[in-house]
C-alpha cells in the first residue's frame, strides 16, 4: 500500500532516464512535486538536484541517512556519487553543513530531535487525518507534506518536528508557507521550503511588520477617515501578514474565527483607514 502511494507521487517525475522514478520508489522516496526534490517516508530525508546517469538513490539514501529504518531493513549496497541535500540554515550556512570525502553535504535535520516522533513517518501523519473536516480546507497531502498531523480537534494540526500548531485554515492557504511563517525556527519547515523560498517568507514578514508600524503611526496622527495609499496588492499582503501576528488576531483565532476571515477584515481596514 505504501509503495503504491509512492508510485502515484512520481506521475510527473522530471528525469526520463536514471535516476528513474522506479529507482526513487525502490529507494523509499516520495516525490515532493517540486523539481526533482524527494523525501523519505521513514526518516524525512530530503534530497534534490540529482545528477542524471550518475546518482543512485539507494546509495544516496544509505550514505545520508544510515540509521533510517528503510535503509537498515530494505536497501542493498550501490555505487554512487550522492547529490546535494537541502540545507536551510540561512543564518549560518557554514556551521550546519559539511563536505564529506565524496563532496556531499549533510542536512541539519536530526530526526531523533522531533517533538512528536510517532508522526515522523508520512503514512502515520496521513492516518491521523481520517476525521479531517470535509469543508473547504488545504488538502491532506499538502498538510502532511508540510509536516503536520491532525490532532482530532476542530482544524488544529501540529508539526511532528517543532510541535507548532495552526488552525482555522482557509481553502487557499499554503501549509508549507504558513508553517515557515508562523514557526520560522522549525528546521523541518526550513528544509522543506528551500533556501530561497524560506528567505522570501521571512523577508516578507519583516517588511510587513515595518509597514504595519509605519501605518499605525500614521493612524495615530489623523482623525479624518481617508483612503489608505497602498501601491499594490503585494504591499497589502505584507501589511495583513504583519497584523496576523498581533495579539488581537491570535485572540480571534482562539475564538474559532477562520484565518481567511481575519485576513479579509484586516484588508478592509487597511483599504479604508478610519480614526
Q: In terms of domains, do 154 and 128 share one?
A: yes
Look at residues 84, 108, 132 and tell me which one is the last residue of a structural domain. 108
C-alpha cell at 188: 523541518
Give one DSSP letter per residue of 25-81, joined into a string: HHTTEEE-SSTT-EEETTT--EE--PPTTT--HHHHHHHH-TT-HHHHHH-------
Range of the domain at 67: 2-108
Q: In terms of domains, do 183 and 209 share one?
A: no
pTM (predicted TM-score):
0.43
Please give the tally of structural domains in the chain. 3
Look at residues 83, 108, 133 and tell me which one is the last residue of a structural domain. 108
Looking at residue 225, its pLDDT comes to: 42
Q: In terms of domains, do 60 and 76 share one?
A: yes
Cβ-Cβ contacts under 8 Å for 203 (sequence gap 6 or more) = none
Whichever domain contains 35, its CATH number is 1.10.1170.10
CB 168 within 8 A of CB 259: yes
Q: What is the pLDDT along the chain (275 residues), one digit of tens a residue?
A: 567 777 888 888 988 888 888 889 888 888 888 888 889 878 888 888 888 878 888 888 888 888 888 888 776 443 333 343 333 333 333 222 222 223 223 334 444 468 898 998 899 999 999 999 988 899 999 999 999 999 999 999 999 999 999 998 988 889 999 999 888 888 888 888 888 888 888 888 787 777 667 666 555 544 444 444 555 677 778 888 888 888 888 877 887 778 887 888 787 777 655 43
Amino acid at each position: 500500500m505504501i509503495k503504491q502511494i509512492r508510485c502515484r507521487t512520481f506521475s510527473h517525475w522530471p528525469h526520463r532516464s536514471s535516476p528513474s522514478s522506479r529507482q526513487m520508489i525502490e529507494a523509499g522516496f516520495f516525490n515532493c512535486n517540486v523539481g526533482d526534490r524527494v523525501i523519505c517516508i521513514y526518516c524525512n530525508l530530503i534530497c534534490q538536484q540529482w545528477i542524471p546517469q550518475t546518482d543512485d538513490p539507494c546509495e544516496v539514501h544509505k550514505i545520508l541517512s544510515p540509521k533510517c529504518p528503510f535503509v537498515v531493513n530494505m536497501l542493498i549496497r550501490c555505487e554512487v556519487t550522492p547529490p546535494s541535500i537541502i540545507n536551510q540554515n540561512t543564518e549560518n550556512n557554514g556551521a550546519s553543513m559539511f563536505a564529506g570525502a565524496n563532496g556531499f553535504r549533510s542536512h541539519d535535520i536530526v530526526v531523533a530531535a522531533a517533538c512528536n516522533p510517532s508522526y515522523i513517518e508520512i503514512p502515520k501523519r496521513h492516518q491521523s487525518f481520517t476525521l479531517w473536516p470535509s469543508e473547504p480546507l488545504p488538502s491532506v497531502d499538502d498538510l502532511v507534506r508540510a509536516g503536520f498531523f491532525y490532532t482530532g480537534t476542530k482544524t488544529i494540526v501540529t508539526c511532528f518536528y517543532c510541535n507548532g500548531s495552526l488552525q482555522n485554515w482557509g481553502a487557499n492557504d499554503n501549509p508549507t508557507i504558513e508553517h515557515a511563517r508562523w514557526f520560522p525556527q522549525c528546521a523541518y519547515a526550513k528544509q522543506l521550503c528551500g533556501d530561497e523560498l524560506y528567505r522570501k517568507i521571512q523577508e516578507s514578514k519583516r517588511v510587513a511588520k515595518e509597514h504595519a508600524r509605519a501605518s499605525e503611526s500614521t493612524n495615530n496622527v489623523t482623525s479624518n477617515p481617508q483612503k489608505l495609499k497602498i501601491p499594490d496588492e503585494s504591499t497589502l499582503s505584507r501589511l495583513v501578514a504583519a497584523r496576523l501576528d498581533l495579539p488581537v488576531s491570535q485572540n480571534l483565532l482562539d475564538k474559532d474565527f477562520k484565518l481567511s476571515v481575519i485576513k479579509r477584515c484586516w484588508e478592509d481596514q487597511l483599504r479604508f483607514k478610519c480614526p
